[in-house]
Amino acid sequence: MKIWYGVLLLIMADSVGNILITTGMKQVGDVSALRLSEVFRIARRALTNPMLGLGILCMAIAFFSFLGLLAGADLSFVLPATSLAYVISVLGAKYILKEDVTVDRWIGTILICVGVALISLTPGSG
């Protein structure tokens, strides 16, 4: 059960990080500029955007949680279990970022849940 708390921390940190970074980049704007002055302006906007900073902090928490999990559990369990972050990210994309999520993506998200349920049923999975 202790491993699942670490997985939950990683999943939430990764998902929140993805949503914050996406929100921040939408605030920063298009990064297709080729002029050096425009690149510096975009970089300054990105570096001073609080959403990006918080998103990077969340991703760092997810990264160190992943390292901690690997110290106490098998990679063959940890990596598939952390794929639940995709589920949370799709939900965040739909309800927070107001993106249009297609039926195909919902089916893929359900398949991820089924896969994680199958690996969690095996002995020694946390």
pLDDT for 31-77, tens place per residue? 776 788 888 888 888 899 999 999 999 999 999 999 999 998 888 88
DSSP E strands: which ranges in the chain? none
Q: State the pTM of this model.
A: 0.82
Count other C-beta atoms under 10 Å from residue 77's C-beta: 19
CA 33 to chain centroid, in Å, comes to 27
Of the candidates 7, 6, 10, which has an alpha carbon nearest to the alpha carbon of residue 63? 10
What's the whole-number mean pLDDT along residues 92-100? 94
